[in-house]
Structure 1
Amino acid sequence: MQKLMLSGKIHFARVTACELDYEGSLEIDPEYLAEAGILPYEKILVVNRTNGSRLETYAIPGVPGERAFCLNGPAAHHGKVGDVITVMAFSLMSEEEAREIDPPVIVLNEKNDIIMRKGVRK
């Protein structure tokens, strides 16, 4: 049996930009992607704590060090600058792997600085 499990998470990120005239996706600082164990172009679930919206898209790496979280294309309708979002990636794994997983989670503050790390980064 296969299980779909949380494999990486970025918690309390602040949206830094919304660009409607773009192909789509969520641009994320690649340093945060690496810390959370999320690959560039991996499918993600984005939950907007501010307005309650949820969307599935993919992670596009931005410029390292810019701390960007930019909603692009149609995803831009799901938030505005300053909104608080959580980004989650999920992976299919065996039941045995699922029982052992301790996904990497990073928690950000209002300036998108990492203030806490949880789980195991591989």
Structure 2
Amino acid sequence: MFITLLKSKLHRVKVTQAELNYVGSITIDEDLMDAANLRENEQVHIVNNNNGERLITYVIKGERGSGIICLNGAAARKAQVGDIVIIIAYTMMTDEEARTYKPTVVFPDENNRLVNG
């Protein structure tokens, strides 16, 4: 039997763009992807702290060091530039694996940059 647990989380990043006329997804700065152990095309859940919207989409690699968090396609209707969102990825594992598993949680600064320390 498998259970679903938190794999990765980018906590409280700021939406920098919303592009309605795009195929769909969320573009994330590659530095943030690496820090949060996210992969291109990986499914993620987006939670908007400003309006309560929740959606599921997939990751597109954004320019490294840019701080970009861009909701694309229909997802662009779920947030405005400046909104604070949480980006969450889940994984499945056995109960035995889950007993020692630790998720990756990243707390970027207000400009979507990694904080040293």
Aligned to 1:40: 40
Contact 2:36 2:105 in 1 (8 A): yes
Q: Alpha carbon RMSD of aligned pairs, Å?
A: 1.2
Deviations, residues 22-61 of structure 1 (Å, cap 9, x unaligned): 0000000111111101111100000000110000000110
Counterpart amino acid of residue 12 in structure 1: R
Contact 2:65 2:113 in 1 (8 A): no
Separation in 1 of the partners of 2:38 and 2:116? 17
Aligned to 2:61: 61
Separation in 2 of the partners of 1:87 and 1:73? 17
What TM-score do you get using the length of structure 1 for normalisation?
Answer: 0.92
What TM-score do you get using the length of structure 2 for normalisation?
Answer: 0.95
Is 1:90 the counterpart of 2:90 in the alignment? yes
Structure 1 residue ranges without an equivalent (≥5) = 118-122
Structure 2 residue ranges without an equivalent (≥5) = none
Counterpart amino acid of residue 92 in structure 2: L
Aligned to 1:120: none
Contact 2:29 2:65 in 1 (8 A): yes
> How far did 1:8 drift?
0.5
Aligned to 2:6: 6
SS in 1 for 2:81: coil
Counterpart amino acid of residue 110 in structure 1: E
SS in 1 for 2:34: helix
Separation in 1 of the partners of 2:30 and 2:60? 8
**Once the two structures are aligned, what percentage of the paired residues are identical?**
38
The alignment of Structure 1 onto Structure 2 pairs a total of residues equal to 117
> How far did 1:116 drift?
6.9
